[in-house]
Amino acid sequence: MTDQMRRITLARRPSGAPVPEDFALQTGPVPAPGADEVLIEVTHLSLDPYMRGRMDDVKSYAPSVGLGETMTGQGVGRVLTSNFDGLAPGDTVTGITGWASHAVLAGAETRKLDPDMPPSTALGVLGMPGFTGWVGLTEYGAMKAGETLVVGAATGPVGSMVGQLARLAGLRTVAIAGGEEKCRLAQEVFGFDAAIDHRAHEDARSLRKAVAEAAPDGVDIYWENVGGKLLEAVMPLMNTHGRIPLCGTIAWYGGVAGDGIDHLPGVWRSILVKRLKISGLIVFDHWDRFPEFITEVAPKVADGQITYLEDVADGLENAPAAFIAMLKGGNTGKQIVRL
């Protein structure tokens, strides 16, 4: 065990897309666990798009990170010291460790991991993002075999879970992803029926034409991960009584661009005319269903029916660069940092 703890803190609030100067690497003593707490040595850290929102000082569904505080996030690690019944040194657990080499957590707020699964899966396919896809489709998708689903950020941990669950349920699945390589992976690794490179389409109209060709019977479920050009492209293709689980709007995380507002009347009217059902989804509202998700999906991951991709950056000091890149599509699969 090293005697120093390293952590990445929020040095200043970003304006638009984050830059390296918004983060700082700090070193200090390793904290000691109190009653019912455990000290963890972090081995894997999750980088997620929602963290961009936590860097702003705005009221949201979760508190912001304060200036000088450790960036928030989930990690996986080994228990070094335990004052909690049920966890012993050497156990592998997951919890909200923050972007740090060590964390002291309440034992009750950690989850002991299945030693048969790679630990990093607890951050992606079998963690919060995979669960988001599963619970959103279960609660709001109302999937029927033969329908068509479209999803953006399709090779990421949410999009790939959504696409694979829809395929297994007998839907036609259309991926929208950034670049030819991600489109190839969407089809060859995740089994999407069609994949469209949004970067190859300058505007929503051109992208819409490609989606219309890939979804000749219209779109019954648009899983919204992105907003921006994708939303504008897909909205007019929605079938009557279509469903839109609204999971994320990453195209706007650097600030809402004009195109989101200018075209609102058209988007709004589509909801009326097509009687669409749009459901805002915050995964934290559904944690009670997490055990059900693991029971249903973990065996499918173990036997390869559901697969996943991970993009691994090495070293805590490289977390800011990996995070900045991920927000621009630089990741291929779940973005992990290995410590």
Ligand X SMILES: NC(=O)c1ccc[n+]([C@@H]2O[C@H](COP(=O)([O-])OP(=O)(O)OC[C@H]3O[C@@H](n4cnc5c(N)ncnc54)[C@H](OP(=O)(O)O)[C@@H]3O)[C@@H](O)[C@H]2O)c1
Residue (of 157, 16, 168, 43) closest to 100 by Cα position: 43
Of 143-162, which residues contact ligand X (CB under 6 A)?
152-153, 155-159
Site for ligand X in 1-30 (CB under 6 A): none
According to the binding rule CB under 6 A, does residue 207 interact with ligand X? Answer: no
Q: How far apart are CA 55 and CA 28, in angstroms?
A: 22
* 8 or 326: CB nearest ligand X: 326
Q: Which stretch binds ligand X (CB under 6 A): 34-42, 256-264, 277-285, 292-300?
A: 277-285
Count of residues interacting with ligand X (CB under 6 A): 31
Nearest to 219 by CA among 191, 243, 186, 183: 243
Tell which residue, 167, 177, 118, 178, has the closest CA to residue 141.
167
The window from 34-42, 80-88, 176-184, 294-302 that contacts ligand X (CB under 6 A) reads 176-184
- Binding segment for ligand X (CB under 6 A), chosen from 34-42, 114-122, 270-278, 328-336, is 328-336
- From 177, 262, 176, select the one nearest 213 (Cα to Cα): 176
Three-state DSSP state, 146: coil
Residue placing its CB nearer to ligand X in the complex, 91 or 311: 311
Distance CA 208, CA 201 (A): 9
Are 28 and 3 in contact, with CB atoms under 8 Å apart? Answer: no
- What letters, b where the CB count within 10 A reaches 16 and e where it falls short, cover 97-131? bbbbbbbbbebeebeebeeeebbbbbbbbbbbbbb
Q: Do the Cβ atoms of 143 and 173 come closer than 8 Å?
A: no
Q: How far is the CB of 294 from ligand X (least distance, A)?
A: 17
Minimum distance from residue 333 beta carbon to ligand X (Å): 7
Using CB under 6 A, pick the residue from 9, 331, 336, 339 that binds ligand X: 331
β partners of residue 268:
none
Contact positions with ligand X (CB under 6 A) in 70-99:
none
The tokens of 277 are what? 């059902």
The reply on whether position 210 binds ligand X by CB under 6 A is no
Least Å from the CB of residue 12 to ligand X: 22
Q: Segment contacting ligand X (CB under 6 A): 208-216, 275-283, 296-304, 315-323? A: 275-283
Choice from 137, 326, 336, 339 touching ligand X (CB under 6 A): 326
- Report if residue 251 touches ligand X, rule: CB under 6 A: yes
**Helix 128-136, helix 157-168: angle, nearest 10:** 40
Residues that bind ligand X (CB under 6 A): 48-50, 129, 132, 152-153, 155-159, 177-178, 182, 198, 225-226, 228, 230, 247-248, 250-251, 281-283, 326, 329, 331, 335
